[in-house]
Amino acid sequence: MTTTATTHPASTTAATAQTTPCRTGDHILVTGGAGFIGSHLVERLLREGHRVVVIDDLSTGSLQNLQAVSGHPKLQFIESKVSVCPDLRDLVARAQKIFHLAAAVGVDLVVKSPIHTLETNLHETEVLFEAAAPHRVPTLIASTSEVYGKSAKPAFDEEDDLLIGPPHQARWGYACSKLMDEFLAMAYAREQGMPVVITRFFNTVGPRQTGRYGMVLPRLIAAAKSGAPLPVFGDGGQSRCFGYVLDTVEAVIRLLDNPAAHGQVFNIGGTEEISILDLARLVIELLGSKSSIQFIPYTEAYAPGFDDMRRRKPVTDKLARVTGFRPATSLRKIIELTAASL
């Protein structure tokens, strides 16, 4: 384990939320805080004056993501898996609240490393909850829209039934592991009175996101910038909604600070739906690129039998009702902000 005190950011955020008095503690714990979303959250918390402890094994995160706050006197960084961090129980006992963002991420990683995916998503969460439950530390766990599985609904509501695909397809192992995290969170809430919030992220994008693990928008932007063909899998007709990372940060902070959100599940994401083919065309237009579009069969991109969902759109009314906030950064603005950082 290495520990470094890690500079005050000048990050842009949505309007500051009304907060609710919460558990006394001397820091906020962020697992996966060197990741894409986690690093933006850490910057926001430090900017608000909090002391922050980050646990991250840097398997998919990077210290480069925390460069803007390197040397900040209120930031402690611990390079470790959650499950083997020797100071975990003490850190949890003294935490004001916990944001659990550590997880296996990206379609490429999920498909190519299914054992790592399952172990990371299940075991790390189990260890964290076991440590946090005796102290009833308010904990937010990041889940995913993947838990909605093969549902063909035009938009997904938190109360919907979930339809997971067969076990021989690795992507459903990822979905199931995150769903089990949700069930575990709810079990701790019911049985031990632990204040938990579950958030299902829908394609969060923005500066610092890498295309290394299969994230679609940074891959398209990188190709457009270099003049290479933009890769579009399948026929490109599958549609998605994209949420800006700082909107996601705003939402998770408001949710964990609000006791009315505890013990509940919330969708977080934008609701501006677009096909992947049209997304590629929009990236080319906004960047003034001369790139073409290259269609790649799923069998070449991943593996035979890969099962992609045609639509994935969140209903965010519950988030708006409980927090007064609804992600609203336009897709064009998100692409421009993301492209400027790559």
213 is an active site residue: no
Q: What whole-number distance in Å separates Cα of residue 34 and Cα of residue 19? A: 25
Closest CA to 291 of 304, 302, 282, 303: 282
Is 30:42 a contact under the CB 8 Å cutoff? yes
Number of Cβ within a 10 Å radius of residue 310: 12
DSSP 29: E
Catalytic residue among 148, 174, 188, 213: 174
Collapsing DSSP to helix, strand or coil, 139 comes out as strand
User: Is the CA virtual torsion 192, 185, 199, 319 positive or negative?
Assistant: negative
DSSP 143-195: EEGGGGBT---SSB-TTS--B---TTSHHHHHHHHHHHHHHHHHHHHHHH---
Q: What whole-number distance in Å separates Cα of residue 257 and Cα of residue 97? A: 9
Collapsing DSSP to helix, strand or coil, 239 comes out as strand
Helical pair 216-226 and 276-287, crossing angle rounded to 10 deg: 40
Active-site residue set:
174
